[in-house]
Structure 1
Amino acid sequence: MSLQGRARTPEAQMLVADLMSSRVLPSILKAEGTLTSASAKKCGDALGAIMADVINATRQQRASSRSVRNGSFSSPCPVGRLAFRRVMNALIAEGLIDHRKGHRVKEGPFGTERDVPSLFQATPALLELADGHELLRAKQTSSDFTHGKRDLSDGAQVVVARKKIEKDQAGQRPPPQDLDWDPSDPLACKIAARMERMNAFLLEPGRVEGLSFGGLRRIFSNANLPGFQWQWGGRLNTLPGWDAYESWKGGAQTRRQIIELEGEPVMEADISAAFLTILYGLLGEPFDNHRPPYDIGDGISTERAKAWCTIALGSFKLSAGGRPFSRVKKAFIERHPILQSLETCGLTNADLQYHESEIILSAVEVMRDSHGVAALPVHDCIVVPRSMADVGRQVLEQAFYDHLQDVVGCPHPFLPLVTLK
């Protein structure tokens, strides 16, 4: 739930006005006793934004999700925390919204914590009201409600330098911490200008539809370590406050159901085992792109092989995963002997992330500059219009090859295994 939307058509505006006067405002007054006119105006704006997300989510057969932590209502979110909570509490109390609270969970072998956002879904009572205003016509994601666009004036938002944070004594990793960077840093300014140009193109009317999209940013890691020169991390992510399509539950399948690029449904071109493949390239070793990288034999499933590879390349330790993965590790190293040098090659996970992000961003730029169409990055793949799927695959292959050629001279040039899904 990005809260960037507003009621646009008369039908949508009438639904918001009816809900505000007959359900939301009386519920707030019952709970608080009084409400200033300025606060009532803010609540009306919040209701319009909430309805935009909830109604569009209903059309796409999903729930709206968002963090309700205080910090999630900072800029560019146009809805204040208090107005949101007043309106949402009223909608829940009136039986118009079903709510499942968010929480924090540990995942992965290192106990990494992440937030599970709160979920909000229209109840049958709200759907009946919306249907009465003819707002549930199939897949009209932009006619009744507008998502809005962000202001592209602040280049600093699109480049983030994030501190490397160690686990505390309890083994927990504190929340990410962003660091200020010198606005006169020529390399940082070059990265920001590159991102702003990309965002300006993607935000042109008709390029990206079906979700609330406000642009992309790059998050660099280890910014507090000696020698930091914007060469670690750099993954592309949605700007805060907008639909984080890259981390939607259901992954590629959900994105295919919701996102439209250039007015078309989408497909994804994906680098199989991207980190492993990049490692081959950086170390100048030949790579067999005719056999799936996670096909390691010995009756080990692709999912199991991928799980160990992810853990190993996340920590750059061959002991990753411990005894439960001992058979997987043995078979993996037999298939990919390059991993024997994992702990001595001088690379880290942050290095692989940087090269991956450069490859993906270059592919997105080629789709823009050479083919005139929008593409969206998702870590190790690009989302492209369905009619451009084969072009996207070829562009991603070439971006990989060109990047390695530029970085290391690529003594054993090869193309990665890129699949379409």
Structure 2
Amino acid sequence: MKPEATPLVGVNDTACLNPANDATIGLIRVPEGLRLRDLSAVSMDLEWKPASAAARSAIDWFYLHLGGQSIAGRAAKLKDAIGAVLNDLLNAAENTPFRPCFRSMRAKDFTGGPVGYRSAKAVIDLFEVKGLVHLAGGNFNREGRVSCGTTTRIWPTTALLDHLAEFGIAPSNRREHFIKGEGSEAASRPILLSTSSAWRGRRRVEGKPLPVDATDPTVIKYAAQVDRLNAFIAKQAIEGAGEVVFFRKFNCGDQAGHAYRKGGRLWVVGGGYQMMPKRWKPSHPEGTKLRSSILINGEPTTEIDIGSSHLTIFQAKLGLPFDPQADLYDIPGIEREVVKAYINLTLSKPRLPKQWPADMRSDFLDRYGCEIDRDHSIYFVREACLERHPILCQRKSIQLDWSDLQFIESQAILRAMDSLNQDSGIACLPIHDSLIVPLSHKDKAIEVLKESFKYHVGVMPRVN
């Protein structure tokens, strides 16, 4: 099979208004009159690994096809990079209309990531040489000015998708063949631990896996709780959520005295329903599964969540007077989601943030169709948030960060799940600060979640 290799021209000049006027790129043509920069893109995070024999076979084939065997001593790293790149290209290819991947190709932006710079660049360059992907560089001419720093756009050719189809792999069944980094280990281990995450410029780099002390009494207790939740959910009829197997991931294991009290959120192996969108939007491909379509024991479900969870915990643990029943993200003149994004960003960093992170910019473009750094000045948002919640001005001196807040929140969620499962026989599915529950048990679940939150935090929260 001869792959298509239509060149991409004009990426650095005004011709990039439509960089592929005469060629089908990936799945469909770039809409006439749009710059590639204007297309909503999907982040190439390089965090997924093969989960099926078909995916491993495909990776082996691409490794040979790319000539990877001629690069001495790098087989394992190259194969990891091939698998991660293939997954992210498939993830972007799921979308309608067409969306490319975006990825900063600066070496420093790979520091601490699951795939190293050398391996990722080698694979992406070889994919381009073989006509399997198209690349658009990072600098674009905008209204006569060169705008530097735009991340590289990457998208698959039909040749790449055809090769994957020969192994039974397509964008629509990607999750059957790939699993997020810790997923394969989590499938057999209820408790995972990682080092601290870190900020590299505008990008947050996830921590690396650490060994878990299976003899630690705290680990034994937490593992027993996760096993109990897994045993209960395995007996329920869950439709539309995929396979449900929980594990609990703790963070900051490289910090002295972490004592498994940092992070601790409950995750689903492979992402599962937690990665499904809550609501449908026009950019979703036909047949996209939504969380609202999940059935538990044949019943429709609803999602209940703790309002302003982290900010409520933050203020309550500092002993501040405030109304926990109020919407703490309600600031006149600023969209609620923007306020929420800034406050959660502030609580995740040791200092007040001065710019929107790259992943947050991408997320807002994806979810809401707006460029947050252009439409919402972070300086204006910051001043409004500090006026409403002046305690944030002291963020640097307060030793209570995102990992502490996540742990407290996770304890409240797990206590509520245990109570609903063991005391009331009610099945539920967690999504960090919320629970999916059968519609007929909504009131009971709200009552239990409120009481559990009060037990761990000391205040009765607002539950939506």
Pair 1:182–1:330, CA change in 2 (3 A)? same
1:234 shift after superposition: 0.7
Q: Which of these residues, 175, 191, 195, is aligned with residue 226 of structure 2?
A: 195
1:73 aligns with 2:101: no
1:81 shift after superposition: 1.9
Q: In the alignment, is the contact (CA less than 8 A) between 1:236 and 1:377 conserved in 2? A: yes
Deviations 1:3-37 (A, max 9, x none): xxxxxxxxxxxxxxxxxxxxxxxx9xxxxxxxxxx
1:260 counterpart letter in structure 2:
L
d(CA) in 1 for partners of 2:405, 2:335: 24
Deviations 1:146-197 (A, max 9, x none): xxxxxxxx996111001225456x8766564211122212211111111011
Pair 1:270–1:172, CA change in 2 (3 A)? closer
d(CA) in 2 for partners of 1:343, 1:267: 38
Q: Counterpart in 1 of 2:273?
A: 245
Q: Which of these residues, 358, 364, 368, is aligned with residue 417 of structure 2?
A: 364
d(CA) in 1 for partners of 2:409, 2:155: 27
1:226 counterpart letter in structure 2:
A
Q: Counterpart in 2 of 1:266?
A: 301
Q: How does 1:3-402 map to 2 (within 5 A)?
A: 72-74=49-51, 77=52, 81-82=56-57, 100=93, 103=101, 105=103, 157-166=189-198, 176-206=207-237, 208-240=238-270, 244-250=272-278, 255-297=290-332, 299-321=333-355, 324-402=377-455
Deviations 1:205-262 (A, max 9, x none): 42x222322311111111112112101011111113xx52112234699544431112
Q: In the alignment, is the contact (CA less than 8 A) between 2:240 and 2:295 conserved in 1? A: yes
Out of 301-310 and 246-255, give the one that drifted further: 246-255
Deviations 1:347-374 (A, max 9, x none): 1111111111111111111111222011
Out of 376-385 and 158-167, give the one that drifted further: 158-167
Pair 1:166–1:209, CA change in 2 (3 A)? same
d(CA) in 1 for partners of 2:346, 2:407: 17
Q: In the alignment, is the contact (CA less than 8 A) between 2:196 and 2:251 conserved in 1? A: yes
d(CA) in 2 for partners of 1:286, 1:68: 41
d(CA) in 2 for partners of 1:325, 1:283: 26
Q: Counterpart in 2 of 1:417?
A: 462
Any stretches of 5+ residues in structure 2 without a counterpart? 2-43, 62-89, 95-99, 116-153, 157-185, 282-288, 357-375
Pair 1:293–1:99, CA change in 2 (3 A)? closer
1:320 shift after superposition: 4.2
Deviations 1:57-97 (A, max 9, x none): xxxxxxxxxx99896234xx5755217999xxxxxxxxxx9
Q: In the alignment, is the contact (CA less than 8 A) between 1:156 and 1:192 conserved in 2? A: no
Q: Counterpart in 2 of 1:24?
A: none
Q: Report SS of the residue matched to 2:304.
A: strand
Q: Percent identity?
A: 29
Q: Report SS of the residue matched to 1:343.
A: helix
Pair 1:227–1:255, CA change in 2 (3 A)? same
Q: In the alignment, is the contact (CA less than 8 A) between 2:304 and 2:446 conserved in 1? A: yes
- Give the TM-score of the pair, scaled to structure 1: 0.61
Q: In the alignment, is the contact (CA less than 8 A) between 1:104 and 1:114 conserved in 2? A: no
1:329 shift after superposition: 2.2
Any stretches of 5+ residues in structure 1 without a counterpart? 1-26, 28-66, 87-96, 119-153, 405-409
Pair 1:274–1:99, CA change in 2 (3 A)? closer
Q: Report SS of the residue matched to 1:157.
A: coil
d(CA) in 2 for partners of 1:191, 1:398: 21
Pair 1:214–1:277, CA change in 2 (3 A)? same
Pair 1:80–1:290, CA change in 2 (3 A)? closer
Q: Report SS of the residue matched to 1:388.
A: helix
- Give the TM-score of the pair, scaled to structure 2: 0.55
Pair 1:165–1:319, CA change in 2 (3 A)? closer
Pair 1:341–1:184, CA change in 2 (3 A)? same
d(CA) in 2 for partners of 1:361, 1:117: 40
1:415 shift after superposition: 1.1
Pair 1:201–1:262, CA change in 2 (3 A)? same
User: What is the root-mean-square deviation of aligned Cα atoms in Å?
Assistant: 4.3
Q: In the alignment, is the contact (CA less than 8 A) between 1:312 and 1:320 conserved in 2? A: no
1:318 shift after superposition: 2.6
d(CA) in 2 for partners of 1:234, 1:289: 23
d(CA) in 2 for partners of 1:70, 1:167: 17
d(CA) in 2 for partners of 1:351, 1:363: 19
1:73 counterpart letter in structure 2:
P
d(CA) in 2 for partners of 1:306, 1:226: 31
d(CA) in 2 for partners of 1:171, 1:273: 24
Out of 283-292 and 370-379, give the one that drifted further: 283-292
